[in-house]
Amino acid sequence: MPCYAMIVFLLPIGLCNEIESILNRYWWSGTVTGGKGIRWKSWTKLCIEKERGGLGFRRLREMNLSLLDKQVWRLLTRTDSLVAKVYKSRYYPNCSLFEASVGSNLSFL
């Protein structure tokens, strides 16, 4: 479920850590609240690639940043799309995306 929000919003690091903590509890105990279970491996070990001995879980912060990078890539490569035109006219009308400065009337998107 957080994937939809991570495509558009930069989630706070604390929220990413909390979601990973919930995933970790559920993985080892089968329940989110009050479940007891033996943690055979740490969450960082579970996030290692399968080829290197982990389970291949994704780190949410890294996933969030890569999904946002994908949106930037789309703005750069599909300049004729409606979203790219709206963002260009609203946030960086006289420069490139990388030269844009933070404005005063920003939206959460």
Give the sign of the dihedral formed by CA 87, CA 89, CA 90, CA 94: positive
> What pLDDT is attached to residue 31?
67
**Residue of 23, 63, 62 lying closest to 43 (CA atoms):** 23
Per-residue pLDDT tens over the stretch 97-106: 888 887 776 6
How confident is the chain (109 residues) per 10-residue block, as mean pLDDT?
84 90 77 67 80 85 93 93 90 86 70
> What pLDDT is attached to residue 70?
93
Helices 60-77 and 82-91: angle between axes, nearest 10 degrees: 90
Per-residue pLDDT tens over the stretch 60-80: 999 999 999 999 999 999 999
Amino acid code (one letter) for 17? N
> What pLDDT is attached to residue 108?
63
CA distances from 92 to 29, 37, 58, 61, 65 (A): 49, 51, 33, 27, 21
